[in-house]
Structure 1
Amino acid sequence: MRLYWDVRRGDEDLKADDPRLEDLRSAGIVFTEPLTDRPSTRPLPQVERTLIRRELDEVERLLQRVRRIPSVLDTLDQAASGSQLDTGAVEVVKDQRAINHLLHNAIEASATIWSSQTRPRHPERLAASALRDVALLAGGGVRYRNLYPTSARTRAPETDYARRTAETGAAESRTSPRRFPRMIITDTLGLLSDRRVGEGTSEPAVVVRDPALLAWLRDEYELHWEAADPWFPAPADSPSDRELIERDILRMLAGGNTREAITRTLEISPRTYTTYMAALRDRLRVRTNEQLMYVLGKRHTAADA
């Protein structure tokens, strides 16, 4: 308790790497300010929501393991009896109607849906999906997790979809600067795109039914999910959409990436990139990108001193 209030008061003797802060940090109460590298505290209502969500997620993971027990035992029983195992554990499906049929049946039989979208979604198809998904979520019995690139925050269709599904209380969306695969995972199967392209009527899907592969896909999804930024509802002290995109741009600039590489990776247009860079230069009162990086580097150096 005393240590918490010392951080709240801004005690100069406390450093971000102070080992005494480890318990507070692991609980999400204390974090390191990115610009000053000083320990700071999050609002307690936000900490409460985070801890409750963490416990609910753990319960959800345990339930998923329990639900996999029948399929694992069935596989073992087939192996023991000498029966031929399912050869359709992984297949490529090219017909869009067949893909939609598989996905519909899998969602109907699942309690949790893990979805990740790598490119802008078609506005009309997304609007239709919103009507269907909001009705499904409002009916109870299923939960959605949706993962998008950070650039989705600049697009109205994805923003509206994330907000409307979140308002049901049964869905959460996050955004990430990382590159991740386009996929939808249910309790019984996973569908992965074999190309990083937008939604298309002729795009094949890799269908995974094997329980072990599905478990691995969910684990991979969780790694991206834990590192992503909540979208709706956003934590009280979370960065704005503009700050998140600026962060990704500056991170890639610092890594030596070109303008073309940044716009391609972050899925933003050259015009959007130019707008954000101009705003950053204006805010920090510099004229060139080189001066911008120099000023930011000086700030971090001063914070480390």
Structure 2
Amino acid sequence: MVPEAGDPSLSDDDVRLYWEIRRGDDDLSADDPRLENLRSLGVVFTEPLTGRPGARPPHRVERELIRRELDEVERRLRRIRRIPSVLGALDQVASGGRCDTDAVEIVKAPAVVDHLLHNAIEASSVIWSSQTRPRHAERLAVSAVRDVAILKAGGVRYRSLYPASARSRAPEADYARMTAETGAAESRTSSRRFPRMIITDTLGMISDRRRGEGGSEPAIVVRDPALLAWLREEYELHWEASDPWFPAPEDSPSNRELVERDILRMLSGGSTREAITRTLDISPRTYTTYMAALRERFRVRTNEQLMYELGRRRDTAADG
């Protein structure tokens, strides 16, 4: 199979150069053209003090490549959101007529959204959902009774993706536990940014709202089979990078450990305090409490020292 353009891949020479740099027995300059592919993949970087090429350990390369793919997912979803405006422009040109297609449309009325979604769920065997914000406790309790009954009846499976902060909220935790106990549902959490959407066998709905924008929340409705298949593939990327909620392995990290891990990951990637609290849906005060605990655990005084110590320990573990 011929790889697509832009697919990450390494030649035998790339691998040889990588390990020469890791062992320190290379005599390469940072601008050596043979390092172009390694540098483009984030495998090799320029040491700030020596100006010589350095090699990242595989686990750090993996995180970087996954982050790039998820960023590409986000860009593609933004392009999907622009599709209705393209169709609208075509409608205006067509002699006052309207294109005979309902592959993608924007639905603004909540009652219409609920009706379309209910009918789609009734006719589907698998439901993929992702929730980006806290869910209303009373409505979620009603949904739990309905969804548990549907799952116990058989013939349908649920997949639900939540932000990592949902683990500390009782309504979402109870819903995830109740649906998981049916054996036909699985919930996961992620600290990465993902879109709010629901996908069924015949219909997909994507939220047309960014945090902090407006009070209404129209939905982008997708019915085209090719677009639905693409949306499911994008959902899978987020799903594979997330953490199982229920049932959890005996040695799985606690809720606090998951949040601490996500904070460290985002700090390592250069995220600001504001970006971290927004993405993880935690308050600035909670963030400060976590950071104080992390500095104490690593026996450092500043965030810069914390990042250095974390990187040193990871590199030591990788080399070992």
The equivalent residue for 1:70 is: none
Q: Does 1:216 align with 2:226?
A: no
Is the CA contact (8 Å cut-off) linking 1:95 and 1:202 kept in structure 2? Answer: no
2:139 to 125, 129, 137: 125
Q: Indicate how the Cα distance of structure 1 residues 298 and 201 shifts in structure 2: closer, same or farther if over 3 A, else same.
A: closer
Task: After superposition, give the CA deviation of every residue in 1:125-168 in whole Å (9 maximum; x if it has no partner).
Answer: 21121111111111111110001111211212111111111111
- Post-superposition shift, 1:220? 0.7
SS at structure 2 position matched to 1:173: strand
The equivalent residue for 2:159 is: 145
What code does the residue aligned with 1:276 have? Y
The equivalent residue for 1:228 is: 242
SS at structure 2 position matched to 1:165: helix
Equivalent-residue separation in structure 1 for 2:309 and 2:108 (angstroms): 51
The equivalent residue for 1:260 is: 274
Residue correspondence of structure 1 range 1-305 to structure 2 within 5 A: 87-197=101-211, 202-305=216-319
Which one scores higher on RCO, CA 8 angstroms, separation ≥ 6? 1
What code does the residue aligned with 2:174 have? D
Is the CA contact (8 Å cut-off) linking 1:127 and 1:161 kept in structure 2? Answer: yes
Is the CA contact (8 Å cut-off) linking 1:148 and 1:175 kept in structure 2? Answer: yes
Equivalent-residue separation in structure 1 for 2:131 and 2:211 (angstroms): 10
Gaps in structure 2 of 5+ consecutive residues: 1-18, 20-58, 60-98
- Post-superposition shift, 1:226? 1.2
Aligned Cα root-mean-square deviation (Å): 2.4
Equivalent-residue separation in structure 1 for 2:100 and 2:181 (angstroms): 40
Equivalent-residue separation in structure 2 for 1:303 and 1:225 (angstroms): 27
Task: After superposition, give the CA deviation of every residue in 1:52-111 in whole Å (9 maximum; x if it has no partner).
Answer: xxxxxxxxxxxxxxxxxxxxxxxxxxxxxxxxx961111111111111111111101001
Equivalent-residue separation in structure 1 for 2:111 and 2:287 (angstroms): 38
- Post-superposition shift, 1:170? 0.7
Equivalent-residue separation in structure 2 for 1:147 and 1:162 (angstroms): 10
Equivalent-residue separation in structure 2 for 1:294 and 1:202 (angstroms): 44
Gaps in structure 1 of 5+ consecutive residues: 1-16, 18-36, 38-84
Equivalent-residue separation in structure 2 for 1:171 and 1:162 (angstroms): 8
SS at structure 1 position matched to 2:239: helix
What code does the residue aligned with 2:192 have? R
Equivalent-residue separation in structure 1 for 2:215 and 2:156 (angstroms): 27
TM-score, normalization by structure 2: 0.65
- Post-superposition shift, 1:295? 2.1
Task: After superposition, give the CA deviation of every residue in 1:16-66 in whole Å (9 maximum; x if it has no partner).
Answer: x9xxxxxxxxxxxxxxxxxxx8xxxxxxxxxxxxxxxxxxxxxxxxxxxxx
SS at structure 1 position matched to 2:194: coil
Equivalent-residue separation in structure 1 for 2:180 and 2:318 (angstroms): 39
What code does the residue aligned with 2:216 have? S
- Paired positions, count: 224
Is the CA contact (8 Å cut-off) linking 1:92 and 1:206 kept in structure 2? Answer: yes
- Post-superposition shift, 1:201? 8.3
The equivalent residue for 1:10 is: none
SS at structure 2 position matched to 1:178: coil
Equivalent-residue separation in structure 1 for 2:315 and 2:104 (angstroms): 51
What code does the residue aligned with 2:301 have? R
Equivalent-residue separation in structure 2 for 1:129 and 1:156 (angstroms): 15
- Post-superposition shift, 1:291? 2.5
Equivalent-residue separation in structure 2 for 1:216 and 1:86 (angstroms): 22
Is the CA contact (8 Å cut-off) linking 1:147 and 1:173 kept in structure 2? Answer: yes
Equivalent-residue separation in structure 1 for 2:205 and 2:100 (angstroms): 17
Equivalent-residue separation in structure 2 for 1:275 and 1:160 (angstroms): 26
Is the CA contact (8 Å cut-off) linking 1:163 and 1:232 kept in structure 2? Answer: yes
Is the CA contact (8 Å cut-off) linking 1:96 and 1:202 kept in structure 2? Answer: no
SS at structure 1 position matched to 2:236: helix
